[in-house]
Structure 1
């Protein structure tokens, strides 16, 4: 099938990536967390000038360390360094006790710079049903880039349900650990790829087949670090 490269909009495009979990489920339920996110937090974010789109996903793995994923495309990555972004409220009366969400949830927050957007020709609009988040630190950045552009994207684009792939490079990461006893997370991998698919489920056999080439085996086998997770769409919002 194949796809086409698309230019990102904005002067310094990027992505705000927020992977989270509830740390006190006896005090803040999944329903309460979702209500805060959907009815309070995203509307607060949309009051700013720098973010106009938000998507929420849930891991398909019931044992996932951080089951919730929020993605915010950015036209200007520099917005994340502004007082306007830092002033987005993290307190609300719907949150018990201190009213601070950081006391009840743990967030793995990452800032990414845009690298590539590759999508199916005549791709439909709206958020796809699934996203595969694949983060890597390769041994050889140049070979990694060539592998993606010359082979891997063509393989992925031929899989049933594929709609688009977006690639990014990490610029910043933090985790709001509350306890000194908790081990700090390792630095996230250097690059992030988001593969988006439509459908009731993912074509597992086809996806497995896309890892069969010698170049792919070489790349995956030599990674210094890698993280992989699959998420199903919960909601998509635009300003």
Structure 2
């Protein structure tokens, strides 16, 4: 089962190329957080552009196309002594503090639902579909996910599991006003949430049409795994 809390960071480099940015995350940053016990498990993803740009955040110029996913025991990770112990400069990035090398948008979340019908457990997903959403009725949305949406998604070939989180304490690195909920759908391949007979069955039910008419999505994006630590 995932840790009780999640720390998500969207980022992009501003002083180096993507290859160097990925090297820093893989060789320094993810290991730092896990080794200092700020994070129990950490995974780093790059965006794959197979989701239509229907959302404002997806269309932003110089969008943050990397996503770091940190499972943690801390409700507010940045305030923990474990996080404060990690390095603030890098041997890989240019000679500045880490925060001066990129743009970051960080959020705290708390676990509300782990749907794992095939017992994948805590293994890093090859791909994830990430959705930020705001419902008109939180209770109805929760029932919908538990009783219909996740069970139908489990029938889509290559669908691994789904995890839902509620927004936690604001961080000093949070950009804008995030939606209350985020859903992470774990997949074997990036295209498996695209149109298929199984996905049409998921998206066309009366309950789906009724529920989704009252949900606002601020972002829906797809990512592929670059590296993971602690799994």
Name the TM-score, length of structure 2 as normaliser.
0.84
| Map of 1:18 onto structure 2 | 9
Q: Do the aligned partners of 2:36 and 2:85 also contact (CA within 8 Å) in 1?
A: no
Q: Structure 2: which 5+ runs fail to align?
A: none
| Map of 1:4 onto structure 2 | none
Do residues 213 (structure 1) and 191 (structure 2) align?
Answer: no
CA distance in structure 1 between the partners assigned to 2:118 and 2:199 by the alignment = 24
Instruction: Give the deviation of 1:122 after TM superposition.
Output: 4.2
Aligned length: 219
CA distance in structure 1 between the partners assigned to 2:92 and 2:120 by the alignment = 39
Instruction: Say which SS state the counterpart of residue 168 (structure 2) adopts.
Output: strand
CA distance in structure 1 between the partners assigned to 2:5 and 2:149 by the alignment = 22
Q: Do the aligned partners of 1:167 and 1:192 also contact (CA within 8 Å) in 2?
A: yes
Instruction: Give the deviation of 1:66 after TM superposition.
Output: 1.5
| Map of 1:146 onto structure 2 | 143
| Map of 2:21 onto structure 1 | 33
CA distance in structure 2 between the partners assigned to 1:122 and 1:15 by the alignment = 20
Do residues 193 (structure 1) and 165 (structure 2) align?
Answer: no
CA distance in structure 2 between the partners assigned to 1:77 and 1:216 by the alignment = 32
Instruction: Say which SS state the counterpart of residue 172 (structure 1) adopts.
Output: coil
| Map of 1:106 onto structure 2 | 103
Instruction: Give the deviation of 1:226 after TM superposition.
Output: 3.1
Once superposed, what is the RMSD of the aligned Cα atoms? Answer: 2.5
Instruction: Say which SS state the counterpart of residue 136 (structure 2) adopts.
Output: coil
Q: Structure 1: which 5+ runs fail to align?
A: 1-6, 178-184
CA distance in structure 2 between the partners assigned to 1:208 and 1:122 by the alignment = 22
| Map of 1:83 onto structure 2 | 81
Q: Deviations over 1:156-207 (max 9, x none)?
A: 1111101111111001344749xxxxxxx43111011111011374251137
Q: Do the aligned partners of 2:6 and 2:71 also contact (CA within 8 Å) in 1?
A: yes
Name the TM-score, length of structure 1 as normaliser.
0.81
